[in-house]
Structure 1
Amino acid sequence: MAEAALDAVRRELREFPVAARELSVPLAVPYLDKPPTPLHFYRDWVCPNRPCIIRNALQHWPALHKWSLPYLRATVGSTEVSVAVTPDGYADAVRGDRFVMPAERRLPLSCVLDVLEGQAQHPGVLYVQKQCSNLPSELPQLLPDLEPHVPWASEALGKMPDAVNFWLGEAAAVTSLHKDHYENLYCVVSGEKRFLLHPPSDRPFIPYGALDPTGPLGSRPGPVPRLQSGPGASLHSAGWRDALPASPVVPPRPAIPWLHCGEFLVRHGV
């Protein structure tokens, strides 16, 4: 009797994310060919917490045409920035039952550019990923190349950006699976980035383990993902690489969009 009831629960759990996708979650992240109006942005994307990729929204930014490795070297190459250094590209990642943060180094940006251009080697994988508005605080020389905010988003959300971050990394740099509790506009000025996006309906299938208060992240309350190695496709960029949820019930594949130069990804905190 108990086993039959458990099988019924498992069956319902398998059907739940499928039903959620059929009702409101697109199988692929949709593209917009131009920026939406503030009203459409709020109504169609913010309120329902749906991600989208917006094309042709950055063409008037000088950065889109100016930012290259030689330009960054000439403009801010001597500027010291905070750089995350990890042995394998995983910053802020779970190791066993501990949440391990990367080593943080202050390096001239030219050192990072040397590695990206293959002119030098550095122990570990380098990733400029400092948050809390590192662009205006560490690289203010680049601000004239950007708009100070995204007008249609600022009007829709009723506020200016809380933070403007600059990220630059090697191909091996990975951001662990996480949830941001705020709206995100992620734009690629040069290169490309792969994202893995789970809808809220997948939350029951993502196992979490409690934080050890004596561990490296003991001052940050809340759960962290517990990973289990397994076969399957590599999941990069805001996701797990060579890992699957440790659950007998696996939801459908998440959306895995590629974000290319000149595109905005809008993703939400819920």
Structure 2
Amino acid sequence: MKIDAQAYKVGEGEAVDLGLWATKIDALCKSKKAYRKQLHDHVEPLSDQQRMLYASNRHALLVVFQAMDTAGKDGAIRHVMSGVNPQGCQVFSFQHPSARELLHDFLWRTTRDLPERGRIGIFNRSYYEEVLIVRVHRELLHSESLPDPAPDESVWQSRFRSIVDLERHLHANGTRIVKVFLHLSKEEQRKRLLARIDEPDKNWKFSAADIAERAYWDDYMLAYGHALAATSTADTPWFIVPADDKHNARLIVSQIVLDAMLGLKLSYPVVSAARRRELKAIRKQLAK
């Protein structure tokens, strides 16, 4: 069954009230076996597309994941990209900026890690943190030594413009960007946090900071809504993926990424007639 990824896309100029977007939908597969088969049916052609991406060396793919804590970013990356050659894919996880990074503009630290042509880059969190966590915790602006750090609306509108301009520039130069927001409910997050406490093999995942951030849930939902609406464009749209069911989320994400790769209409480089003659001559030598 092909998943209609477009059903989860935020249209350009569309207002986003996350309270109106589903965090859970009916199961896309009736069993775990069916889920594994469908995921494989996405992963296998994605692997083929990745090889052509590398061989053609004309495009790059950047996949951006944003979400609240416990929404399943790591699991989605691990399962969706399971068939991709590690040499052609890099994952970067962005936490709080370092002292060195704070000496630069807010896009600098992520721009350094953009994928090269022929490769897939994955951002687990990204430059969008600068209009999300910084907007919720506005005191963080003071550590960025801005010329005018007053946290009024003009700061966020300016950053939205910078982000849209960057993504437009990347798209024009061959980097296709897939932006995924894993939309988790507050109740499902509560259950997952409890599991991290109750299950010993998940204890390492638990952070007291996750509990502290839950107090700002509504503020985050507003910040995400503003960011998604302001930066979803025709070329680089946002996809809001229901994340309460991890299997569903992974299938939807894999379909989104596969659609993006297929949209590049990739193919292996065509060998010239002169090169074919050269290869034939080399083959004759090897066949002796």
| Structure 1 length-normalised TM | 0.26
**Which structure is richer in relative contact order (CA contacts within 8 A, separation 6 or more)?**
2
**Larger % of strand: which?**
1
**Larger % of helix: which?**
2
| Structure 2 length-normalised TM | 0.25
Larger radius of gyration: 2
